[in-house]
Amino acid sequence: MKLKAALLASVLTLAVALPALAQTPLPDPLDDRSAKRLERMEKVVRELRSIVFQGRDTGKPVVVQPAETDAQIAAMSDKLNDLEQTLTRLNGQNETLTHDLDQARRAGEAQKTRADALDQRLAALEKKVADQEAAAAAAVPPPPPPPSASADPAQAFKQARQLLLDGDYGAAEQAFAGYVDAYPDSAKTPEARYWLGETQFVREAYGDAAGSYLGAVRGWPQTSWAPDAVLKLSRSLVALRKPADACKTLDELARRYPKAPSAVTAKAATTRAQAKCAA
């Protein structure tokens, strides 16, 4: 009650003093500081009057709170809420990044494991291939040595021919090449060149085959194998993309060997068409 009486006395004093202040001559115009002070005083009077009326009407003690405290607390509460939301968002982003990093680490470890496994498989395959190559090299018999000059030429030719009949073209090629080198002046050397050309033609070594066939038909021998040698020479030239030379060879075939077997003449016609020879 004492507080109530003191507040009431203050209000009455201010109420009496305000008219007097209002009648006191003020500087004209009021400066900014005087106006602001007056506004503050009026605000205080209004607050005091509200406090007095509240105590009178309710009969309860009046609690005086500093002005604008609620607004400041509310502002601080809003800032705190904003900070909490920001912290929550950052924690969520951090958890997402941590999860992504864990997945990337696990993926990297899996890739490394697969790479190591592939390296091991590649090493095993390389070793297997090397072992197979070594075994194949050991299994291949060495080629027969070329016949020496002191050997029987007829026997050497017969051996080379048998290799050809057996389908061992690699060994037959070496045997006929050795015969040609060992017996360049033998009567069987042109035929050996022909069979040498056959082994080379089979493996599509057309340049080597053309040279062997050309050496075989030098002088245009009248033998059973000569027309076929000329035909194979023309076919080798077609394969070597020398159609003009092939056409000249086919013309010589028709002129030199008019009674060539029908199989030879039929293949010659086909080869002439491939070379686009003039009719």
Question: For residue 76, what are its two tokens?
Answer: 């601080």
Q: Are residues 166 and 256 in the same domain?
A: yes
Mean pLDDT by 10 residues, the chain (279 residues): 51 49 50 72 76 67 58 77 85 85 84 79 72 66 50 90 93 95 94 96 94 94 95 95 95 94 95 91
Domain end: 116, 140, 164, which one? 140
Max intra-chain CA distance, the chain: 159
Q: Are residues 165 and 206 in the same domain?
A: yes
The pLDDT of residue 70 is 64
The pLDDT of residue 32 is 67
146 lies in some domain = no
CB 37 within 8 A of CB 88: no
Q: Are residues 53 and 80 in the same domain?
A: no
Q: Are residues 230 and 185 in the same domain?
A: yes
Q: How far apart are CA 243 and CA 274, in angstroms?
A: 8
The pLDDT of residue 209 is 94
130 lies in some domain = yes
Return the CATH number at 236. Answer: 1.25.40.10
Q: Are residues 234 and 169 in the same domain?
A: yes
Q: Are residues 174 and 252 in the same domain?
A: yes
Q: How far apart are CA 166 and CA 163, in angstroms?
A: 5
147 lies in some domain = no
Which is it for the CA torsion 45, 50, 55, 57, positive or negative? positive
Exposed / middle / buried, residue 141 (Cβ in 10 Å: 0-12, 13-18, 19+): exposed
The pLDDT of residue 109 is 86
148 lies in some domain = no
Tokens 């201010």 identify what position?
14
Residue 244: count of CB within 10 angstroms of its CB: 11
Residue 43: partners with Cβ closer than 8 Å, 6 or more residues away? 67
Q: Are residues 180 and 197 in the same domain?
A: yes
Q: Are residues 80 and 182 in the same domain?
A: no
Question: For residue 275, what are its two tokens?
Answer: 């070379």
Q: How far apart are CA 235 and CA 210, in angstroms?
A: 9
The pLDDT of residue 78 is 82
- Domain ranges, residue 224: 153-275
Exposure pattern of 27-54 as b/e (b: 16+ CB <10 Å)?
eeeeeeeeeeeeeeeeeeeeebeebbee
| Structural domain total, the chain | 3
Domain end: 93, 114, 140, which one? 140
192 lies in some domain = yes
Question: For residue 37, what are its two tokens?
Answer: 């002070």
Torsion, Cα of 66, 68, 72, 73 (10° steps): 60
